[in-house]
Amino acid sequence: MKLSIEQKNLIAGVNIAARAVPAKTTMSILKCILIDASTEKIRLIGNDTDLGIETVVEGTIAEHGVIAVDADIFSNIVRKLPDGTVNITVEGEKVTIQCEQARFVILGRDGTDFVYLPEIDRSYGIEISQFTLRDIIARTIFSLSTNESSRMMTGELFEIRDNQLRVVALDGHRISIRHVDLKNSYPDKKVIIPGKTLTEISKILSGDMEKTANLYFTDKHALFTFDSTTVASRLIEGEYFKIDQMISNDFQTHVNINRQELLSCLDRATLLVKEEDKKPIILLIRDDQVEMKINSTIGSLDEVIAITKEGADLNIGFNPKFLIDALRAIDDERVDIYLLSSRAPAFIRDDHSYCYLILPVNFIDADL
């Protein structure tokens, strides 16, 4: 095999394919990136068997071939090469990587054990801008559970109805929901995409409004295609939680508050929260102000923020981290919070695009 690729194209491609290379695996071939120049294209492939990423890099093929190279070593080498044309020559398993005056030699492996991306049926697909896809992932994914024992909570629901995409993430303490309009209408579809897949895709997607991504879904797989890249992922199978039963529009208290002021106060409050003694922040909601109080073994904080309110006064406690996560996922200058009682979930929502549900935390008078 003999290839020539510009260093900056090669490093961009390697960075994409390497996102699917697992940090730990018992199958050593999966620690490799496959360089496949058996056709007229140079394809770089990484695959941990749950998630596979293939990207095409520009370059010239003087001699066809396939080789697997250790992803860490190869990407480190490519990253440190000078900015110029990289020539990759393979003889047997000896891989020579030459650029300007530098010549590296490493051992590769033949690609016969390597697992290519699965063939995925493209009969159901939607189109979305890369910017929007990256954006809705970022504004929901923090709510996923990292606990593999509740596997359904480690993936996001993507639900398509007509020209609407609803994305849902939850972890048992909170639910994050985002709606976006699609350009076209599609038949109804619900899939649960693993959080890891979405995290890795977010890092590859461009933030470009004009560029689109195509998403294809079967019962078991999702396929994402954008730019020169194809991502194949297993889906989480099973019935998702009944979200609509958890959402309510009832409220007794409606608070309108400056988002940044609330965030800054919560940020200060987290100073006083130690992992071991999780103290809630307590909101004493009155007519034109909310008094925020936290009281821990480290010390206490007391702060007052102006609000506009309709409905009843209320005292309610929260894990400050959950409020912070939701407020950071919102851009609005002011937010609306809807509350029913000190035991019922709080909703931070607008009319059309987002709804963040957060369960309150019980508190005792000593916390005040």
Of residues 167-226, those binding a second copy (CB under 8 A): none
67 and 111 Cβ atoms separated by less than 8 Å: yes
User: What is the x/- site pattern for a second copy, positions 345-364, by CB under 8 A?
Assistant: --------------------
Count of residues binding a second copy (CB under 8 A)? 26
Nearer to a second copy, 83 or 237 (CB): 83
List the interface residues with a second copy, window 242-281 (CB under 8 A). Answer: 264-265, 267-268, 271
Q: Of 185, 323, 349, give the one whose Cα is nearest residue 264.
A: 323
Token look-up 């303490």 returns 173
80 interacts with a second copy by CB under 8 A: yes
- Residue 168 token pair: 């849902």
CB 84, min distance to a second copy, A? 12
25 binds a second copy (CB under 8 A): no
Q: Which one of 144-152, 177-185, 236-244, 302-310 is the stretch in contact with a second copy (CB under 8 A)?
A: 302-310
> Contact between 103 and a second copy (CB under 8 A)?
yes
Q: Residue 182 and residue 160: Cα distance in Å, rounded?
A: 9
Instruction: Based on the shown chain and the rule CB under 8 A, indicate whether residue 305 belongs to the binding site for a second copy.
Output: yes
Q: Figure out which of the listed residues 18, 29, 106, 247 binds a second copy, where binding follows CB under 8 A.
A: 106
User: Which candidate, 206, 208, 200, places its Cα nearest to that of 231?
Assistant: 200
Q: CA torsion sign, 235 to 236 to 238 to 242?
A: negative
Q: Does 284 bind a second copy (CB under 8 A)?
A: no
In the complex, what is the shortest distance from the CB of residue 298 to a second copy, in angstroms, rounded to a whole number?
6
116 belongs to the binding site for a second copy (CB under 8 A): no
Identity of the residue, 209 or 298, whose beta carbon is nearer to a second copy in the bound complex: 298
Least distance between a second copy and beta carbon 367 (Å): 14
Residue 311 falls in which region: left (phi positive, over 0), alpha (psi -120 to 50) or beta? left
Nearer to a second copy, 108 or 317 (CB): 108
Q: CA-CA distances (angstroms) from residue 206 to 132, 167, 224? A: 10, 20, 13
Cα torsion 243, 244, 245, 246: sign? positive
Pairing type for strands 51-57 and 229-234 reads antiparallel
| 86 part of the interface to a second copy, by CB under 8 A | no
User: Does the footprint of a second copy cover residue 67 (CB under 8 A)?
Assistant: no
Does 81 contact a second copy by CB under 8 A?
Answer: yes
The site string for a second copy over 125-144 (x = CB under 8 A, - otherwise) reads --------------------
- What is the arrangement of strands in the sheet containing 334-339, beginning at the earlier edge strand? 155-170, 174-194, 354-358, 346-349, 334-339, 253-258
Q: Is 82 a residue that touches a second copy (CB under 8 A)?
A: yes
For 357, the token pair is: 């549900």
For residue 61, the one-letter residue type is I
Q: Give the one residue of 301, 344, 359, 368 binding a second copy; rule: CB under 8 A.
A: 301
Select from 93, 121, 302, 350 the one that contacts a second copy (CB under 8 A): 302
In the set 105, 209, 246, 312, which binds a second copy (CB under 8 A)?
105
The number of beta carbons lying within 10 Å of the beta carbon of residue 235 is 18
The CA R_g of the chain, rounded to the nearest whole Å, is 25
CA distance 207 to 365: 48
Quote the least distance from Cβ 261 to a second copy, whole Å: 8
Give the binding site for a second copy (CB under 8 A). Answer: 73, 76-77, 80-82, 101-107, 264-265, 267-268, 271, 298-305
